[in-house]
Amino acid sequence: MSNSGLPSPPLSSPESKYEYNTNHISRPPTPPYSNSVPLRSYIESVVEKSRIDTGTLLTSLSYARRLKSKLASTSKGMECTHHRIFLATLIIASKYIHDTALKNKYWVTYAQMFSASEINLMEKQLLQLLDYNLEIKWAEYNVIVNDTVQVYFQNNYSKESVPPLPPPSSQKFHTHNLLNRLNPLST
């Protein structure tokens, strides 16, 4: 167990594709191909293979933001840390939201970078870091939705055509209100 109180990653597992020299390593090395997979490509691949819905992705984003606020800005990790955080938040969000969520053996296939024991450990560590609090308040969800809509429009339209959204605290979130505000024909 490390100083942080979280369990260390497993040194090896029967399912692992890699052999680890346990004489001098306290945690498994990053798989050799992990830094060759850009995070955006990895996210697109996992989302496409797993067929995750938008609500699960938004929930995953919320968990990632919580995690970011908990970790020190000086925290450092392995080269694949962002990949791990994405996958762990996505799996936890999926299992929290859906009654019949995907099993980890399928996530191993979709994720391709991590073994089942690594995925199990990532889940446990994330749950501990989030204090097992997976509930998302409406205000938190509104912030994620509004930020996502803003990023979408900023990347796909000129700034003149983007309707400004009110701050999440100034109005209750209603999907039909958001869609009406974004539809120029509704005015």
pLDDT tens per residue across span 12-67: 444 444 444 434 434 444 444 445 789 999 999 999 999 999 999 999 999 999 99
Q: Is the Cβ–Cβ distance between 38 and 83 less than 8 Å?
A: no
Q: Is the Cβ–Cβ distance between 8 and 121 less than 8 Å?
A: no
Domain with CATH 1.10.472.10 in the chain: 34-129
Residue with tokens 């995907």: 102
pTM: 0.65
Superfamily of 34-129 according to CATH: Cyclin-like (1.10.472.10)
d(CA 61, CA 77): 19
pLDDT in tens, 137-159: 999 999 999 998 888 888 877 65
pLDDT in tens, 101-128: 889 999 999 998 899 999 999 999 999 9
